[in-house]
């Protein structure tokens, strides 16, 4: 009895295709969450969908590259605050992206603080509704 071949080129392609689709859908979900924020908070403005797409991309990159470094550097403060300082880091990074992307504006730190929380909740809710439990669209 012959055993099926595991890990062939077709399996690798299917994994890459599913991963690419999930990444694209997650990016679109995050852009939709950004587009929803101005309707919930008047202190956040997003001029158009193109701005939301760029801001979501940069926010994802910032959260992937800069956020882990900041979390490690601020670990003592985070431990003393029982993890609440992570919310401050999220707000600062959200505010930073608003300064970097033309057409995406956040009025101040506290607006960024609340907007980052709302953005996370909206993004989580949309991801829960649109993605399967195994993470595939």
- CB of 119 closer than 8 Å to CB of 94: yes
Structural domain contains residue 34: yes
Q: What is the pLDDT of residue 12?
A: 55
In 10 A of CB 59, how many CB atoms? 27
Structural domain contains residue 42: yes
Q: What is the pLDDT of residue 22?
A: 87
Structural domain contains residue 97: yes
Radius of gyration of the chain from its Cα atoms, rounded to whole angstroms: 18
The string of DSSP codes covering 10-34 is: HHHHHHHHHHHHHHHHHHHHHHHHH
Q: What is the pLDDT of residue 50?
A: 96
Structural domain contains residue 65: yes
Structural domain contains residue 3: no
Q: What is the pLDDT of residue 69?
A: 97
Q: What is the pLDDT of residue 131?
A: 83
Does the global pTM surpass 0.85? no
List, for the chain, all residue ranges whose pLDDT scores fall below the cut of 50. 3-4
Provide the number of structural domains found in the chain: 1
Structural domain contains residue 66: yes
Q: What domain range is 53 assigned to?
A: 18-130
């Amino acid at each position: 009895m012959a055993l099926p071949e595991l890990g062939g080129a077709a399996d690798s392609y299917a994994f890459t295709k599913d991963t690419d689709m999930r990444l694209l859908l997650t990016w679109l979900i995050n852009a939709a969450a950004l587009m929803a924020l101005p309707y919930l908070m008047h202190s956040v403005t997003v001029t158009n969908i193109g701005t939301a797409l760029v801001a979501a991309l940069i926010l994802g990159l910032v959260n992937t590259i800069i956020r882990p470094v900041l979390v490690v550097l601020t670990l003592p403060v985070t431990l003393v605050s029982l993890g609440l300082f992570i919310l401050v880091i999220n707000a600062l990074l959200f505010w930073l992206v608003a300064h970097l992307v033309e057409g995406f504006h956040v009025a101040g730190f506290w607006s960024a603080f609340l907007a980052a929380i709302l953005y996370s909740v909206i993004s989580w809710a949309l991801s829960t509704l649109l993605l399967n439990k195994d993470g595939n669209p």
